[in-house]
Amino acid sequence: MIVKMRRTASADDIQAVEQRLHELGYQTGKLVGTEITLIGVYGDISALPQGEIFEMAGVEELIPISRAYKRAAQKGDIINPIYTSFPIGNVVVGGSDLVVVAGPCSVESEVQIMESAQMVKEAGCSVLRGGVVKYRSSPYSGWEGLGADSVEDLRQALHYIVKAGKEFGLPTAVEILDHTMVSEYEDAGVDCLQIGEPNSRNTSLLNRLRDTSLPVIHKRGTSLDSEAYLLWVERMMTKGKENIILCERGVMSANRYTRNTLDLGSVAAFHYHLSHLPIAVDASHGTGVRDLVHPLTLASVFAGASVLLVEAHPNPLIAKSDGFQGLFPEQLSRLVTAAEATWKLRTELEPLYTPSAVLEKAYDQRVAEDRKRLFG
């Protein structure tokens, strides 16, 4: 951590801060500029009384140096990363198998979700998804989900999807929008909760989910930097919760042709640099174009995803919501076949990935001779 002193801080102010840090057992360094002074505080600062230091005379700001998202951050190091795995029902995410979470945008009827479950199972997917409350961008879209109007409706809709999942041996993942309904989802037997993109920074919901034992898929907001997003993920983890799946589903950019801009660079950053949590990609929302879901889903696997979210419907032409991006059953089935093959290849090719840290020292030692040889 760096303590930035104000331009107006006196030498006494600076000395007092250093002394207090030493009393607290910290080593410090100092960079005295012509205008401002920075005091570096070394080591693990998790027990440092930051408020007290911040309130000392002349202190302007405490600047964190290590990543602010401690629990979401990578465990191990870049050369030997340690990844987290945990179950959704009886399906393990973050492990050696690719996990495909598929289903319709929303649960539309008992028959529809049952047929969807069959389609999902036959295609070879592992988890059934389906929304029970589907608020749309317009309040006049008509369809807001089977469970939107009352708690009784919500229970009914949850019951349908859980039953369909059980019938075909599929754990279920369902979006939750209201923090007061968590126990309804738990009681209904849902296996995984999902935070939708519009609620990516809904603190009431994030705070409440600290306390559920269910795994959570947390979708990144379209205006969030990847590290800013990890801070919102971190909010759910402050009490120890670890079974969270990061989810990229597109950000806002200059692009108009696709519904959103799927940010696979951040997916690679999450997996290879920033976090120990499993990463999901939702190419259905990420493109909003049915025919682009296939190539983008396969690309996601190589970018670092181990969980794939795919919308599909027994007949997407009559889907009550987002049918334009839902796959036809044949497309889902072929996509899963292809995704499994890409996953297998990624696993085989993994030894070829070589972090720079493995090579850097050797090249640094060659710098002088390389300069001489190349530049004379």
- For the segment 196-255, give every residue that binds its own copies (CB under 8 A): 198-199, 201-204, 207, 221-228, 231-232, 234-235, 238, 250-255
CA 375 to chain centre: 45
Residue 152 vs 375, nearer CB to its own copies: 375
112 binds its own copies (CB under 8 A): yes
Full DSSP string of 189-252: T-SEEEE-GGGTT-HHHHHHHTT--S-EEEEPPTT--HHHHHHHHHHHHTTS---EEEEE--B-
Contact letters for its own copies, residues 28-67 (x by CB under 8 A): -xxxxxx---x-x-xx------xx---x-xx------x--
Residue 274 CB, nearest distance to its own copies (Å)? 8
Query: 86-88 and 91-93 as β-strands: parallel, antiparallel, unpaired?
Result: antiparallel
In angstroms, give the least distance from the CB of 90 to its own copies: 28
Q: Which of 128, 158, 216, 262 binds its own copies (CB under 8 A)?
A: 262
274/69 Cα distance (integer angstroms) = 9
Residues in region 344-373 near its own copies by CB under 8 A:
345-346, 348-349, 352-356, 359-361, 363-368, 370-371, 373
Q: Which residue in the set 91, 93, 102, 108 belongs to the binding site for its own copies (CB under 8 A)? A: 108
**Shortest spacing between CB 101 and its own copies, in angstroms:** 19
Task: Candidates 154, 301, 310, 312: give the one binding its own copies (CB under 8 A).
Answer: 301
Residue 105 beta carbon to its own copies: minimum distance, rounded to whole angstroms: 14
H-helix or E-strand spanning residue 102 = strand 99-103
Total residues contacting its own copies by CB under 8 A comes to 133
Q: At what angle do helices 151-167 and 110-123 cross, to 10 degrees?
A: 30
The rounded Cα 8 to chain-centroid distance in angstroms is: 42
Q: Does 342 bind its own copies (CB under 8 A)?
A: yes
Choose the stretch contacting its own copies; rule: CB under 8 A; options: 14-22, 94-102, 187-195, 311-319. 311-319
Tell whether residue 258 is a contact of its own copies (CB under 8 A).
Answer: yes
In whole angstroms, what is the distance from residue 77 CA to residue 71 CA? Answer: 14
Comparing CB distances to its own copies, the nearer of 122 and 370 is: 370
- Residues 6+ away with beta carbon under 8 Å from 201: 221, 224, 232
Contact 191, 217 (CB under 8 A): no
Query: 75-76 and 81-82 as β-strands: parallel, antiparallel, unpaired?
Result: antiparallel
CB of 251 to its own copies, least distance (A): 5
Position 286 contacts its own copies (CB under 8 A): yes
- Among left, alpha and beta (phi > 0; psi -120 to 50; other), residue 12 is alpha
135 is a contact residue toward its own copies (CB under 8 A): yes
H-helix segments, 291-328: 293-303
Q: Applying CB under 8 A, does 19 fall inside the site for its own copies?
A: no
- Residues 314-333 contacting its own copies, CB under 8 A: 314-318, 328, 330-331
CB proximity list for 57: less than 8 A, separation 6 or greater: 9, 10, 13, 16
